[in-house]
């Protein structure tokens, strides 16, 4: 319960930043000029609700969760050995971006507006995407030899969710960074591949 109250107050205290979702790629309200959900004038509601939320990895979640079976990333040089089905927040991103659940399936309603553009639909085959939903710790860094140690590097540990690499390690849906940092909603600029080089020593 205490956790819920903290989360509700977090949610309320962020409303001051509302313009950062408003007009962003994740604003689906009437007048946004992209996927517009008829009759919807709120902007947090596609993903969060103050009440009756689903207990998911992101706070006060209110969007239907995908049940798709995903093909996962594999490679002979990969050291991480715990890559399974997407979990945590990544699964929530994929609940729109795999194209199986409608963007307007929130608040208990089943919608019909699905992500279908070639660019933004990640789909269910993740074998050609950067690996996600795996533990990134000192022993992985040691095993790989060319990764920053997250325990010794706060910039890296700040990008992890429950010590894992997830979609939001690289993207911020709330798009609260100024241009040019909001290119593709990236958390850090990727000029000169800076985002990649935050974790990879190459």
3-state secondary structure of 62: coil
Q: Which of 49, 62, 70, 159 binds ligand HEC (CB under 6 A)?
A: 159
Chain positions 116 to 145 lying near ligand HEC, rule: CB under 6 A, are 119-120, 122, 130-132, 136, 140, 144
What DSSP designation does 197 have? Answer: H
The answer to whether 102 contacts ligand HEC (rule: CB under 6 A) is no
Minimum CB distance to ligand HEC smaller for 15 or for 30: 15
Q: In Å, how far are 15, 90, 164, 197 from 87, measured between CA atoms? A: 27, 6, 10, 25
* 132/129 Cα distance (integer angstroms): 8
The answer to whether 37 contacts ligand HEC (rule: CB under 6 A) is no
Chain positions 51 to 70 lying near ligand HEC, rule: CB under 6 A, are 58-59, 63
Contact 103, 117 (CB under 8 A): no
User: Exposed (0-12), middle (13-18) or buried (19+): which is 40, by Cβ within 10 Å?
Assistant: middle
Where do contacts with ligand HEC occur on this chain (CB under 6 A)?
10-11, 14-15, 18, 21, 25-26, 34-35, 43-44, 46-48, 58-59, 63, 75, 77-80, 89-90, 92-97, 103, 115, 119-120, 122, 130-132, 136, 140, 144, 147, 156, 159, 165, 167-174, 184-186, 190, 195-196, 198-200
């Amino acid at each position: 319960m205490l956790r819920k109250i903290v989360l509700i107050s977090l949610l309320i205290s962020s409303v001051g930043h509302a313009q950062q979702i408003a007009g962003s790629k994740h604003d689906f309200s009437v007048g946004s000029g992209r996927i517009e959900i008829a009759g919807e004038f709120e902007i947090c509601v596609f993903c969060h609700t103050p009440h009756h939320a689903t207990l998911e990895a992101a706070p006060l979640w209110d969007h239907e969760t995908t049940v798709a079976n995903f093909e996962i990333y594999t490679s002979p040089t990969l050291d991480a050995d715990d890559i399974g089905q997407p979990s945590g927040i990544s699964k929530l991103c994929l609940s729109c971006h795999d194209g199986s659940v409608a963007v307007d399936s929130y608040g208990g309603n089943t919608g019909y507006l699905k992500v279908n553009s070639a660019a933004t639909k990640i789909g269910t085959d993740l074998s050609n995407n950067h690996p996600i939903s795996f533990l990134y710790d000192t022993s992985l860094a040691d095993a790989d030899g060319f990764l920053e140690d997250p325990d010794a590097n706060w910039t890296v540990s700040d990008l992890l969710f429950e010590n894992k690499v997830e979609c939001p390690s690289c993207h911020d849906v709330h798009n609260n960074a100024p241009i040019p940092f909001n290119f593709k909603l990236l958390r850090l600029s990727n000029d000169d591949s800076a985002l990649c080089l935050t974790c990879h020593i190459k």
